[in-house]
């Protein structure tokens, strides 16, 4: 099996605290970051040294979500609520004070926004009206991650009570509770065909769930030494990456779920502290081919280029 060669292309600096989250934009090679300093920063890989602050809030930003339909960025501000920014001119469109809890994840589907918070709630908002439609409360522990199965009309949530819960996307009725991990479920991601759901946990395990068999466990992998903070797929879905509190990023084959490469400080001048978030960009320009962006507690963002040997 071909294993990629890895090269560190850029180290982006500017945040004054841990960098927790990343999101793409409509522009090729342009993405945004959010961190403990409350800053939301726009980065352009064609001019990587020129990060631009597009928003500043009073509390940490753990969650950013990009909605390509409207070219909107949704910012989750801890202990307050969400802010919507029109990236066409970086214009603020609206805010909603909706929680006194930490906001861990934000997703959108059609005219709704789903917000996962540390009080165990999923708050459903009307997108255009910025009004609360419903609150889903099935746990007293933190709601950490959200994934949406559009084909099966399912809302899937990972919690700090170690479980994954599957809800009906339209009625919000609880369909299934999975005793998934030995610790908090930090990240959820569907494969491109929605056949499998991947979950990453504080227990360092990567688990693969078969959606065609009512989320039966397909495989369990001890993937890292410490917590798996995030999972992201290559744009064409053939590969995925995980990042961890163990300071590493790992590249995996998405068909066989086999490890292909480890990116760390010793081998690639990687991050010196926890890697919190990944973003695999669909960008091929200036010598880059679908680079991976990683954000860390060390206040930096790294850009990695992967070169795949020919067969």
Strands 91-97 and 103-109, how do they pair? unpaired
Helix, strand, coil percentages for the chain (3-state, nearest 5): 0, 55, 40
CA dihedral 103, 113, 109, 235 (to 10 degrees): -30
Tokens, residue 222:
């001890």
Are 170 and 149 a contacting pair, CB within 8 Å?
A: no
pLDDT digits (tens, 9 = 90+) for 122-134: 999 999 999 999 9
Exposure b/e, 133-157, CB count within 10 A at least 16 = b: eeebebbeebbbbbbbbeeeebbbb
* 1 pLDDT higher than 70: no
What CATH number is attached to the domain comprising 83?
A: 2.130.10.10
CA pseudo-torsion sign 73, 246, 50, 239: negative
Q: What mean pLDDT do residues 191-219 have?
A: 98
Q: What mean pLDDT do residues 213-217 have?
A: 98
The Cα–Cα gap between 142 and 139 comes to: 8
Tokens, residue 39:
């800053």
Angle at Cα 70 formed by Cα 13 and Cα 12, nearest 5°? 5
Q: What mean pLDDT do residues 203-225 have?
A: 98
Strands 275-280 and 292-296, how do they pair? antiparallel
Mean pLDDT over all residues of the chain? Answer: 96
The Cα–Cα gap between 10 and 43 comes to: 11
pLDDT digits (tens, 9 = 90+) for 172-195: 999 999 999 999 999 999 999 999
Share of the chain above pLDDT 90, in %: 93
Domain range for 56 is 5-307
Burial class (CB in 10 A: 0-12, 13-18, 19+), 193: exposed
**Alpha-carbon distance values, 262 to 33, 200, 244 (Å):** 23, 17, 11
> Is the model more confident about 49 or about 109?
109
What pLDDT is recorded for position 175? 98
pLDDT digits (tens, 9 = 90+) for 84-140: 999 998 999 999 999 999 999 999 999 999 999 999 999 999 999 999 999 999 999
Are 307 and 261 a contacting pair, CB within 8 Å?
A: no
What pLDDT is recorded for position 309? 82
The Cα–Cα gap between 102 and 81 comes to: 9
The Cα–Cα gap between 175 and 60 comes to: 33
What pLDDT is recorded for position 311? 47
* 80 pLDDT higher than 80: yes
* Partners of residue 79 on adjacent β-strands: none
Q: What mean pLDDT do residues 183-209 have?
A: 98
Are 64 and 47 a contacting pair, CB within 8 Å?
A: no
In the chain, the number of structural domains is: 1
């Amino acid at each position: 099996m071909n294993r990629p060669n890895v090269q560190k292309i850029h180290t982006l600096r500017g945040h004054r605290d841990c960098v927790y989250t990343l999101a793409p934009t409509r522009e090729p090679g342009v993405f945004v970051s959010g961190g403990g300093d409350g800053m939301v920063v726009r980065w352009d890989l064609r001019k990587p040294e020129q990060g631009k602050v597009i928003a500043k809030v009073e509390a940490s930003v753990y969650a950013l979500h990009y909605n390509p339909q409207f070219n909107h960025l949704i910012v989750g501000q801890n202990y307050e609520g969400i802010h919507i920014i029109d990236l066409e001119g970086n214009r603020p469109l609206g805010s909603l004070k909706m929680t006194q809890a930490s906001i861990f994840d934000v997703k959108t589907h059609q005219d709704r926004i789903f917000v996962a918070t540390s009080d165990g709630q999923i708050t459903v908002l009307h997108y255009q009206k910025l009004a609360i439609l419903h609150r889903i409360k099935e746990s007293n522990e933190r709601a950490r991650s959200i994934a949406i199965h559009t084909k099966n009309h399912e809302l899937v949530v990972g919690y700090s009570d170690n479980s994954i819960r599957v809800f009906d996307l339209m009625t919000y009725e609880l369909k299934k509770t999975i005793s998934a991990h030995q610790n908090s479920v930090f990240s959820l991601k569907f494969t491109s065909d929605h056949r499998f759901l991947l979950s990453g946990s504080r227990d360092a395990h990567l688990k693969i769930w078969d959606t065609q068999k009512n989320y039966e466990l397909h495989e369990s992998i001890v993937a890292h030494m410490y917590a798996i903070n995030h999972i992201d797929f290559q744009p064409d879905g053939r590969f995925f990456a995980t990042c961890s509190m163990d300071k590493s990023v790992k590249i995996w084959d998405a068909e066989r779920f086999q490890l292909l490469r480890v990116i760390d400080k010793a081998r690639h001048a990687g991050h010196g502290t926890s890697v919190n978030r990944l973003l695999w960009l669909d960008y091929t320009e200036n010598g880059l081919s679908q680079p991976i962006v990683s954000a860390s507690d060390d206040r930096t963002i790294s850009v990695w280029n992967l070169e795949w040997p020919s067969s």
